[in-house]
Structure 1
Amino acid sequence: MFNRKRFLGLFLTIVLVMIGFKTFAETPPHDYFPLPVGGIWEYQAKTADGKQSKLTVKVEGLETQTDGTTLYKTENNLGFAPFYIWYAKPSGLVKEYRQLYTFGGNNTEYRLEPPKTILKNPPSPGETWTWEGQEIAVMTTEVKENYEVVGTEDIEVPAGKFSTFKLEINGTKAGTPFKKVVWYGNLIGPIKWQIFDDKGALKTTTELEKYTFPPN
């Protein structure tokens, strides 16, 4: 005999399972940087003595190198002259390849040899790695950087409240020490970063004001 209540109960269970499976299947993987093509991030930077400036970052597009590597080209604008940075995202990593500065009609390119791993994608607390190489432009500069994911942290910036991974970078450039701390948000990117001088004093703090992603 047809049991209508039992049929409706079974039907509802199947629907809920399918909805749950679809939600699980469509959950995007963790990704921290760079995101996505057409995305725009607006930051406010403040120096230790109170001077303020703006930074806008945009992922302009993808470029393919002769070896088949896909690079993300980002435009970075401080309000007077844009500069460009290229990144690759091989499995589980984010690597920086080169930078291009334009000023007064002149271009200056910095190439990183070897490409620099700036982030594990996704990062995990306690992870460490080291990059040692050269910035090659008019002159060649020796650089060494030590990275450590020191943990997770909830932070608040003008763009809102975010759960982040906190990354510390300690290094030397042409023999001069420096330190940088970056907070990354999943599926957003850099939320905040601080730069310290060779004495360990804070130089600048940069915080996300807003971000805009293109529709899917």
Structure 2
Amino acid sequence: MSYGQNVPAPVAAEKGLVLEYKTTTAEGAEMLSKREVVYVKDEGNRKIVGIKDIGTPLEGMSQEQFDRLSTTEYVITDDSWYIDVIGKTGNMMKEMMEAAGEMEEAELFKNIDIRVDAGESRNPVFPNVMSPGESCEFDPVKIKVKIAFFSVTCEIRYEMYECIGTESLTVPAGTFETYIVEQQVFVKQKSLLGGDKQREYERTWYAPGIGEVKTQSLDKNGIMVEETVLNAITRGVERRQ
């Protein structure tokens, strides 16, 4: 399979586009979710795309706060793309603390100073298209969020990111020309309250101009525990109550 030149990034970049996904667990449980392209900003040599998870705010959280928390920002150039992981992590912590500060039982968190320090870390940058056998290496992303009297550190390390093949893949939303990436990501978090670390294994089918068409979450033995497929694509901003 050959994509030719000027291949668009595997990111939906049309404002108002709604992607519906169907997730099935190994036990057979099913769940539908939707993502909407809410803005596309053209900045000359790059585009900034915001894609929001459609859902309902948690108790104590405003719709505006939820919209900011559930929006992921993508940066696209002629030959590469990346997710603003550093910015999203910092914004998430700030929004969570602001939401807590609006609750009567959380007076402690009101008007606190929240600082995000990523040091020299940079967001991992991915090529727009990959060929079988091609792999990428990235420096670890280290983020420290300081919240008044305590801090939380998070390290994200890509241990593997490799294209294992291509496929003309048919899912409920249609047929797409895809390239398949296997990735292994190590995530470690630490604070005064303790720490946590885990490895995430995924196999993803990417389509140029669309994004994830199918994703399989795997256990450490390579056995699938969950699969998500693109179920439908609609155009035009959805009318929601």
How many residues are matched? 185
Letter in 2 for 1:62: V
1:124 aligns with 2:101: no
The offset of 1:207, in angstroms, is 0.4
CA distance in 1, matches of 2:32, 2:53: 10
Distance 1:154 1:69, change over 3 A: closer
* Aligned partner of 1:185 among 191, 195, 207: 207
Q: Distance in 1 between matches of 2:80 and 2:172?
A: 28
Letter in structure 2 aligned against 1:170: Q
Task: Give 1:94 deviation, angstroms.
Answer: 0.9
Structure 2 match to 1:207: 229
Q: For structure 2, which runs of at least 5 residues remain unmatched after alignment? A: 59-65, 101-113, 146-150, 189-196, 237-241
Cα 1:176–1:106 shift into 2, 3 Å: same
Which residue is equivalent to 1:61? 39
1:127–1:213 Cα change, 3 Å: farther
Q: How does 1:102-113 map to 2 (within 5 A)?
A: 106=99, 113=121
Q: For residue 136 of structure 2, give the secondary structure of its aligned residue in structure 1.
A: strand
Q: 1:164 to 1:177 in 2, by over 3 A?
A: same
Structure 1 residue matching 2:161: 3-state secondary structure: strand
1:1-12 correspondence to structure 2 within 5 Å: none
TM-score by length of 2: 0.64
The C-alpha deviation readout for 1:24-47, integer Å capped at 9, x for no partner, is xxx994212132222211101112
Percent identical: 21
- Equivalent residues of 1:42, 1:54 under 8 A apart: yes
1:89 paired to 2:111: no
Is contact 1:176–1:198 with CA below 8 Å preserved after alignment?
A: no
Map of 1:153 onto structure 2: 167
Letter of the 1:37 counterpart: K
Contact 1:53–1:78 (8 Å) recurs in 2:
no
Residue-by-residue CA offset, 1:13-62 (whole Å, 9 max, x unaligned): xxxxxxxxxxxxxx994212132222211101112222221221111113
Deviations 1:159-201 (A, max 9, x none): 1232211011112112522211110123322111111234544
In structure 1, the partner of 2:198 is 176
The residue type equivalent to 2:127 in the other structure is: K
Give the CA RMSD over aligned residues: 3.4
CA 1:80–1:156: 2 relative to 1, 3 Å: farther
Q: Which runs of 5 or more structure 1 residues have no equivalent in the other structure?
A: 1-26
Distance across 2 between alignment mates of 1:199 and 1:53:
25
Give the Å deviation of 1:124: 2.7
Q: Which structure has the bigger radius of gyration?
A: 1
Q: Tell me if structure 2 keeps the 8 A contact 1:133–1:143.
A: yes
Q: What TM-score results when the alignment is normalised by the length of structure 1? A: 0.70
Match for residue 52 of structure 1 among 11, 15, 30: 30
**In structure 1, C-alpha distance between the alignment counterparts of 2:48 and 2:117, rounded to whole Å:** 14
Q: Where is the strand percentage greater, Structure 1 or Structure 2?
A: 1
